[in-house]
Amino acid sequence: MDFEAVIGLEIHIELNCKTKMFCDCPNRPGDDPNLNTCPTCLWLPGAIPRFSAEALEKASLLCLGLGAELQPQSAFDQKVYYYPDLPKGYQLSQAHRPLSRGGGIDITDEDGNLKRLRIHHIHMEEDVAKLVHELEGRVPISLVDFNRAGSPLVEIVTEPDLRTPHHAMEFLKALRTQVRYVGSSECSMENGSMRVDANISVRPRGTSQMNTKVEVKNMNSVRHVGDAIAYEISRQSQAVQAGEAVVLHTRLWDPDKKVTLPMRGKFEGPCVPDPMVPVIELSPAFIEEMRSRLPEMPAARAERFVNDYRLTGEEAAFLSADPDVAGFFEALVKKGVAPRTAMHWLATQLIPAVKERRLELGASRVTPERLAALLALLAKDEINANAAREVLAHLFESDETPEAIVNARGFRQVSDAGALAAMIDRVLAAQSAAVADFRAGQGKALGFLIGQVMQSSGGKANPKIIRELLTKKLG
Amino acid sequence: MDSIFFYRNSATAPADGPLAGLKIAVQPTVSVAGWPADAGSKALANFTALEDATVVSRLVQSGAFICGSTLGSEFGFGLAESRAGEAVKHNIAAAELMLDMMGESRLAACGAGVCGFKPSYGLVSHFGLIGLIPSLEVCGLLAGSCQTIRHLLRALAGPDDKDFSLPDEKPGEFYAPAPEPSKTTIGVIAEAQSALPDAEKSKFHASVAALQKAGFAVREVSFPDWPLFLPVHKIVGSVEASSAAGRYDSVRYGERAPGARNWNEMYLASRGAAFGTLLKSFLIQGAYFQFQRYDAYENACRIRARLVADMKKLTDAVDFLVLPVSGGASEERPRTLDETYGRFAATAFANVTGQPALVLPPASAAEAPFQLVGPRLGDAALLALGDFLLSVREKGK
């Protein structure tokens, strides 16, 4: 029997707020254990949650960035469960009245068609404490770190619109890009600021029933999400074919063995409205203010790049996927660099060089101004491309202008026909075999001769002029 | 008389500000930094408050002296083991602060023969109050006179950046002119007296007659849904309490039961040992509605909204309401949840609606203590009425 999967994702995203969601403690979970705590996030008797305005703004921007509709009223509920990572016995989460409804992401499916994956709703919730399990001698102990308790999260719940691992991976990549764009989170699955749970069920292809789903957790990269879903689809399909029932439960992805393993029965505690966090009422003015803060989103930006700069769709998509890259690109163009040159240098030179040095694009010595100055020298033929690449390396090391580096290190291109003609004569005299090859019609011998002249110039000769002079002399 | 205190302040009183020299007792549900704050429960044994409740810091800033913490019942729920009211009765303190969840401050005032006041919901900060039922409970005040209560409220009321559940608007000065009796209508809710035994009923009628004698226009009004207040309070209150008590797991404070083999057993055994029987039945009732009958909880919330709206209509039609304090139940020391609620049958409504309620002691043995009630946030006018009635009595002597 041919099966298809029905997949929904639940994605937790840590908002990059300065403080926690209900107190003023720094939102820095990675600090020394239990450093960022207070009576409120430790939930000592008498504490009262104070909802953070920054969390509301970052969450609202995120919702708008995903095309979701902010609700005029939303509210926090108590999600009741008892576990040591949650010392007050309930998690504050918007179970009944979420911050936004609707929205979605367009992806390109396996056949190259545009597919809309809808979002059901997005709600806010607090993170819980982190449990660390260790051995003290031979006694197993569990330690609780409250630094993360109360960190602001949003949870994005999709409609069960996804059918394949590809859909899930494309959704997550696009989601990450869009959330980074609005600046609400770094969305790194590797360091846990984006956590993905997948709900998966299977059914015979062509039918429309919703079967019992299984939740899969513990994937810490987009690739793992794809692998885990693929594994789970095949596991469930085989089980159904063998006549076994799929039971509602949670499984963990084991990235080493590349399998999902059962974890625990799913406990759904009750959710009751929290009596202390006031109902959140968003005025039309607030929603408008948030909308005005929304940057140009990647799809719109890519379209503009194609129209304004005559880039290909692929080039435009590459540039606009990362807001820093897109910004750098536009800054270069503004400084007079030809769009295609700017695109080419970013993609093939600057981004690899920044990565190699483990820097951030926006935080290296190579600013758009300095790179634009370098590319201007290239455009005016004062240096050649080889020299430009070398000057770029120097730009990472010092604050000198490209011009100064070119002058100080003799990168200026030799375009003087007299000096070049003398060099060419010497090369032609020494390479009679290649000259003969060329005259015999072997075109590639010209390239060899150009290389020889370039070498004897120490790489500074203007290759265009060498080619002209050589062709003339040999012609 | 020291036995009424759970903790006494050994510091000397600074005396500066409008409340200088005023000695105020608190119940152990009110946090005072550095003081043990066990809220009357083993679940909080050895817990020392880290911060002052806002009510405490505001009183201290106004010059008052917090003289000690009086013995209370577990989490301030009911009055079974409570010694609330005695410090004011015996002039050890000029006032006492305690949680009013279903009428505790009003019944304690009644027992002590002093004035008791439950402010409007949203007027006084909850920060640092160790309660159980956030949406129903408020900090109640007991004092010898309405004037003292008004002075305290002036210091206490208003927005608090530690409690976002309060409205942002600063309330007025807490001064209202004395009411003109002939222009003031007081409604008597017929249904609120139905549970009273005849002897108490006639005493209450004597109190109402005294209002008429003072010149007020008194008329009977009806609130047909009056019997719904108690079940709504029971359901909403117990559900909130079940969640609110979830944090008491005896991990960081409180008595921990020995012998558990894992954390789950430790939670169960410690919680089983820590809470008293009355509280346990309340929490189990709340867990039942949370886990098994959520629909009933949702209905209770809907009915609550309707009761609030109906009460608003009633307080729009008359200036004040007068009700008995007694719920009609005879048990002075109730043991069960039902008996406990029975004592508060006439007071719990104000916690459901959030309106202010003032209890005045009876003028004589022939009268009963009674409650005066105003519209939500009509606290100042209500206290002015109480003050006026007490001064009428003084003149009559």
Q: Which domains does chain A have, with CATH numbers?
A: 3-285 (no CATH), 296-409 (no CATH), 417-474 (1.10.10.410)
Mean predicted confidence (pLDDT) in B115-127: 97
B270 pLDDT higher than 60? yes
- Reported ipTM: 0.93
Question: A277–B127: do the CB atoms touch at under 8 Å?
Answer: no
Average predicted confidence (pLDDT) for chain B: 93
Mean predicted confidence (pLDDT) in B99-115: 97
Q: How many domains does chain B have?
A: 1
CA of A46 vs chain B CAs: smallest distance (Å): 4
Q: Classify residue B136: in a domain, yes or no.
A: yes
Q: Classify residue B282: in a domain, yes or no.
A: no
Q: Classify residue B209: in a domain, yes or no.
A: yes
Question: B243–A50: do the CB atoms touch at under 8 Å?
Answer: no
pLDDT tens column, A378-425: 998 888 888 889 899 999 998 999 998 888 887 887 777 777 888 888
CB of A281 within 8 Å of a chain B CB? The answer is: no
CB of B226 within 8 Å of a chain A CB? The answer is: no
Dist. CA A353–CA A371, nearest whole Å: 13
- Cβ partners under 8 Å of residue A188, min gap 6: A194
CB of B224 within 8 Å of a chain A CB? The answer is: no
CA of B309 vs chain A CAs: smallest distance (Å): 19
CB of A46 within 8 Å of a chain B CB? The answer is: yes
pLDDT tens across the length of chain A (475 residues): 789 999 999 999 999 999 999 999 999 999 999 999 999 999 999 999 999 999 999 999 999 999 999 999 999 999 988 888 888 889 999 999 999 999 999 998 999 899 999 999 999 999 999 999 999 999 988 899 999 999 999 999 999 999 999 999 999 999 999 999 999 999 999 889 999 999 999 999 989 888 899 999 999 999 999 999 999 999 999 999 999 988 888 999 999 999 999 986 656 678 999 999 999 999 999 999 999 999 999 989 999 999 999 999 889 989 998 889 999 999 999 999 999 999 999 999 999 999 999 888 878 899 999 999 999 999 988 888 888 898 999 999 989 999 988 888 878 877 777 778 888 888 888 888 888 888 888 878 888 888 888 888 877 788 888 888 888 888 7
Average predicted confidence (pLDDT) for chain A: 92
Residue-wise burial string across A408-433, b where 16 or more C-beta atoms lie within 10 A, e elsewhere: eeebebbbeeeebbebbeebbeebee
Q: Classify residue B50: in a domain, yes or no.
A: yes
Question: B164–A270: do the CB atoms touch at under 8 Å?
Answer: no
Q: Classify residue B271: in a domain, yes or no.
A: no
B381 pLDDT higher than 90? yes
Question: Residue A275 is nearest to which of B50, B134, B162, comparing CB atoms?
Answer: B134
Give the structural domain span for B170.
2-227+305-396
* 8 Å CB contact between A85 and A146: no
CB of A140 within 8 Å of a chain B CB? The answer is: no
Q: Which of B69, B83, B87 is nearest to B28 (CA)?
A: B69
Q: Classify residue B100: in a domain, yes or no.
A: yes
pLDDT tens column, A166-223: 999 999 999 999 999 999 999 999 889 999 999 999 999 989 888 899 999 999 999 9
B367 pLDDT higher than 60? yes
Three-class DSSP category at B203: helix
- Give the CATH number for residue B7: 3.90.1300.10
Q: Closest-CA residue in chain A for B43?
A: A45
Question: Residue A278 is nearest to which of B129, B164, B251, comparing CB atoms?
Answer: B164
Q: Please report which confidence band the pLDDT of residue B14 belongs to, taking 50, 70 and 90 as the band edges.
A: low
Q: Which neighbouring-strand residues pair with B95?
A: B24, B143
Question: A82–B240: do the CB atoms touch at under 8 Å?
Answer: no
pLDDT tens column, B215-246: 999 999 999 999 999 999 999 999 999 999 99
pLDDT at residue B335, as a whole number: 82
Three-class DSSP category at B97: strand
B2 pLDDT higher than 60? no
CB of B47 within 8 Å of a chain A CB? The answer is: yes
Which residues of A are less than 8 Å from B164 in CB distance?
Answer: 48-51, 277-278
Hey, of B247, B250, B271, which one would you mutate to test binding to chain A, going by the most A CBs within 10 A of its CB? B247
Q: Which of A408, A383, A395, A402 is nearest to A460 (CA)?
A: A383
Angle at B281 between CA B277 and CA B285, to 5 degrees: 170
